[in-house]
């Protein structure tokens, strides 16, 4: 079995009396989509924030490749190769699609010097941005104002922004949210092809998408992982059915 690309080791986080993350260890391996599911309030977003860098765990660590990134900021983790789909509010709505993708690519520059050098219009940056837009199917919308995109296209743009950093692993928080049937189908097909470039830790409520895409599923209930396994194993797991999926899964 290959070494994990992304890993949490014993992550715990409490908010007052609430244990939002309870000793969570999970890993993401090359080529896979690992879905994280669980009821509302189970602690999925809290875990994702600790992996991406927005929230410090009380204990435990986050590893990217062989590197302990627990002390790194979100931008530092991004530059180390952790791609995260941005919340929609992080897109600049008045800017064009290409400008948003280019701004994302700027984040790849490690030093202030390269930041300014790149900001002054280096062509390769635009090339990286255009390639990412092409990859998600937005090449023809490069000059469109972001506010004019459909909801689904904005989601695609978020993935393009993450792609510009050439991530080693992706963390995605509900990429299907609000997409509707057709949009979900498009995004499902896209994520399916994306896993070969970089594995994806996927938080998603759309169970059709999860069952279609996941190589493995981890189930989070009350801040703890109660099971990890293949789609078949999770569907058949008695604890999971009782706690979450119900009998019609």
Ligand X SMILES: Nc1ncnc2c1ncn2[C@@H]1O[C@H](COP(=O)(O)OP(=O)(O)OP(=O)(O)O)[C@@H](O)[C@H]1O
Task: Summarize as ranges the residues that interact with ligand X (CB under 6 A).
Answer: 15, 18, 20, 38, 40-46
Q: Which is nearer to ligand X, 51 or 97 (CB)?
A: 51
* Nearest approach, Cβ of residue 43 and ligand X (Å): 4
E-strand stretches of 54-103: 59-64, 67-68, 82-84
Q: Which is nearer to ligand X, 12 or 144 (CB)?
A: 12
Structure tokens at 121: 């219009």
Q: Which residues face 2 on adjacent strands?
A: none
Q: How far apart are CA 80 and CA 110, in angstroms?
A: 10
Q: Which is nearer to ligand X, 30 or 227 (CB)?
A: 227
Q: Which is nearer to ligand X, 55 or 139 (CB)?
A: 55
Tokens 């293949």, residue located? 230
Contact yes or no for 45/87 (Cβ under 8 A): no
* Nearest approach, Cβ of residue 21 and ligand X (Å): 8
Q: Which is nearer to ligand X, 72 or 224 (CB)?
A: 224
Tokens 């983790």, residue located? 77
Helix axes 151-163, 180-194, angle to 10 degrees: 10
* Nearest approach, Cβ of residue 128 and ligand X (Å): 32
> What's the Cα-to-Cα distance from 45 to each of 76, 78, 202, 223, rounded to whole Å?
20, 18, 11, 11
* Nearest approach, Cβ of residue 229 and ligand X (Å): 19
* Nearest approach, Cβ of residue 19 and ligand X (Å): 9
């Amino acid at each position: 079995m290959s070494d994990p690309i992304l890993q949490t080791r014993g992550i715990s986080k409490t908010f007052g009396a609430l244990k939002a993350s309870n000793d969570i260890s999970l890993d993401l391996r090359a080529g896979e989509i690992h879905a994280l599911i669980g009821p509302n309030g189970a602690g999925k977003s809290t875990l994702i924030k600790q992996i991406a860098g927005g929230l410090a765990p009380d204990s435990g660590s986050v590893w990217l490749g062989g590197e302990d990134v627990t002390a790194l900021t979100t931008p530092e983790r991004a530059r180390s190769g952790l791609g995260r789909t941005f919340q929609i509010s992080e897109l600049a709505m008045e800017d064009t699609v290409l400008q948003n993708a280019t701004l994302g690519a700027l984040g790849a520059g490690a030093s202030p010097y390269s930041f300014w050098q790149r900001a002054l219009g280096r062509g390769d940056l635009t090339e990286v941005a255009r390639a990412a837009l092409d990859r998600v199917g937005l090449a023809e919308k490069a000059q469109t104002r972001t506010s004019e995109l459909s909801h689904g296209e904005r989601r695609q743009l978020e993935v393009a922004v993450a792609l510009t950093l050439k991530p080693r692993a992706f963390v995605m928080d509900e990429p299907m949210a609000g997409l509707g049937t057709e949009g979900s189908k498009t995004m499902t097909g896209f994520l399916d092809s994306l896993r070969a470039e970089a594995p994806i830790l996927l938080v998603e409520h759309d169970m059709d998408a999860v069952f279609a895409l996941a190589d493995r599923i981890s189930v989070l209930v009350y801040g703890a992982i109660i099971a990890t396994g293949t789609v078949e194993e999770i569907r058949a797991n008695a604890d999971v059915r009782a706690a979450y999926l119900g009998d019609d899964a």
